[in-house]
Copies of this chain bind each other. A is one copy, B any other.
Amino acid sequence: MLEHCYALTGVGLRAVAERAVCVVGTGLIGGSLLRAAEKAGREVWGTSASEPTAAAARADGFAVTTDLDAALHRAAAADALVVLAVPLPAVPDVLRRIDAVAPVIRLTDAVSVKVAVAGAVARHAPRARYVGGHPMAGTAESGWAAGNASLFNGAAWVVAADDGLDLEVWADVAELAWACGAHVVPAAADEHDLAVARISHLPHLLAAVLAAVGAGRPGGDLPLALAASSFADGTRVAGTRPELVLAMCEGNRDALLAAVDDALGRLGAMRGSLASTGGLAATVQAGFAARQRWAAARRPSATRVRLDRPGALAELRELGRRGDVVVGWAT
């Protein structure tokens, strides 16, 4: 593994697989990442804006401080990988500290949108060696206490693969994902955002709408009393803390509008058919076929790749578009 890393990156005295990790934000995702990376043998430390959170993490044996600058100084000294795991609205402030304290740091993130974060990096920390990331894991829970080292086991971890990025840092982020038990899905930042608008953000909005319709007053509480598994499943994510859903969805406005318009178009066509002929076959059969196709897509090809040749990033993006995943380096 170490040999491959050197071959890949071509430079660096520190083996990629051993790179230290500094996590900014120790909620569910950041806190799980800290635990998983530590379990994988990495040197890890973190920061939280909340002293009670930092204290809870320290009580669990992790070096977590509220002193962001100190954590970033240590990252610069150790040539560590810094992971932004704060909500999108908190990203610019952290980036300004990075630009002041550790401007050329290796940087990734765990935020659920990628174009907005890349834009913020370009504005506020343009010298950072940034490669976007998005571990696709989560629960309805949040906070340090909800985290666990196995959260990313078997999960998809998107690593942005836009042209021009730093291949060494790409390798760092991929190695971190694998160390945490995830597989890597390479994607262009904008294609990632369109994809998550369809399969993560739209589901949250449809769940909210379904919950509100089900709780509508005609019939009193009869609809809610009759609601069984189809309603329970269809509204589950409506139970997510609103501020988390808002940070995620509102940060992906343009892509989400396209997904919402697609859904509205399909619903409108269905409404027209139901009102005119009474038929719903087109909607129901398309949905059934799509669900079957998704079930098939659940078994991606696990691929090993190299970065040390021209066009490597374009190949990675194609691999992601096919629905395949990267699980290690090719020899």
Contacts and interface: CB of A to CB of B under 8 A. Distances in A.
A260 B242 contact: no
A235 B238 CA distance: 14
A225 interface: yes
A30 B208 CA distance: 34
A231 B294 contact: yes
Nearest to A317: B222
Interface stretch (A12-20, A60-68, A171-179, A245-253): A245-253
Interface stretch (A50-58, A117-125, A267-275, A303-311): A267-275
A164 interface: no
A24 interface: no
B271 A260 contact: yes
A230 B203 contact: yes
A209 to B, nearest CB: 5
A213 B221 contact: no
A288 B234 contact: no
Interface residues of A, number: 100
B234 A206 contact: yes
A282 to B, nearest CB: 10
Given A267-B267, A275-B257, A290 B214 contact: yes
Contact of A224 (B136, B204, B250, B293): B293
Given A221-B322, A274-B260, A156 B226 contact: yes
Nearest to A134: B226
Nearest 3 interchain pairs by C-beta: A208-B287, A221-B323, A220-B321
Contacts of A219: 187, 191, 194-195, 321
B220 A199 contact: no
A321 B223 CA distance: 8
A225 B320 CA distance: 8
Q: Which one of A210, A225, A226 has the highest number of Cβ atoms from chain B below 10 Å of its Cβ?
A: A225
A292 B245 CA distance: 16
Contacts of A155: 228
A101 interface: no
A283 B320 contact: no
14 contacts: A138-B229, A185-B226, A187-B219, A199-B227, A204-B284, A206-B210, A208-B287, A211-B294, A225-B300, A230-B236, A242-B284, A245-B284, A257-B271, A267-B267
A93 interface: no
A228 B138 CA distance: 9
B213 A250 contact: no
A48 to B, nearest CB: 25
Interface string A318-330: 0011111100000
A29 interface: no
